[in-house]
Structure 1
Amino acid sequence: MGASGSGKSTILNILGMLETYDKGEIKIAGKELPAINSVAATKLRRYHISYLFQSFALLNNRTVFDNLWIAMAYNKESKSVKHQMIDAVLAELNIEYAKNDRIAVLSGGEQQRVAIARAMLKPGSLILADEPTGSLDRDLADKVFAQLQAMNKEYNKTLLVVTHDPLIAQRCDRVLHIEALAR
């Protein structure tokens, strides 16, 4: 939690090995993060970390199904099990009607639910969520975050959320406040 420009997204991107840092060290489970362009970092991102980007980062000219299928590329399940998993998560998020629709025709709320589905279906136990409700109105933000929390518990994933919204922050198990340092 913190004001815009305080470095919340930067910290999330560093933890997700999308950005580098200049000083110090970052350890997860007692191990220092690998260099972002290393094979070890690629494996961590591929098999252990899901992202829920503020901009959704969906493939707009592909269908909902395609976006979810691509996210599951490194899941070891059979094709039929992957199909079942996609159908189940879309039903849970009340967006199964859009399975064959292109992302470009979906509303912002629908795209957000597809992004949540992608994060849940991708292999890994950690979801890094950057302002997951930042572009939504209050009612939809509450609904989407409730869905994200429910899916988080059901799929047994750790959820690290960056937000500037105190109402979202108060629904989290633990809250850290980030303040920008004077430069």
Structure 2
Amino acid sequence: MSSSVGAPSRFSERQRFACQPVFLERLLVNVEMRHGRAYRRLAVRTVVARENGVDGYTAGVPVKAILGCRVETSADAVDLRFPKPLRKGERHEFVSLVCDDDLDGERRWINIDVDHHGIAPGVVDGEGKVKGGLNVSITFDDHVPEACWWYAEQTECERVIRPPDGDRRLLEIRRGVVEHTFAGPCRPREQYGIAFR
């Protein structure tokens, strides 16, 4: 998964279209916005190996390992390495943090670029806890947007068009926080996220 925020991707073409040998049962992306910029992004992933010997996950951007992984950096990638290689079908949960140092302008979306075997459909329990699927949560500081909406499998031009009032894609902003869990599965080589203005 790469995470873009309304700016050109830092991934090379090889990384962008490579399909990592994992399927995500759950991906929680929590973004802290400061002054219209994505200041901090925390990602919690539960992966299932699609082949034997899966020993990590390519992040592609500078990250800090928080739990269940360690960082290895090469010339064109940042890898989050697992404590031990996974066998096909084995699950692993890990947490990483991206601190955005790209301050070239305000953001218009938080994007998830699916560069692996996909993400399971969203599952939320009776208490509101996300048990599976993709969930994106954004906390805004004093720069709260006038509107937020989720998008799925849209181009950059399509995703910035605000849906009309009453559209199911419009999201409520509560105390500076907006979030969405995607009900359906997220497909490989597609993009999902939340746009705002």
- TM-score range normalised by the length of the shorter chain: under 0.3
Pick the structure with more helix per residue: 1
TM-score of the superposed pair, with normalisation by structure 2: 0.27
Pick the structure with more strand per residue: 2
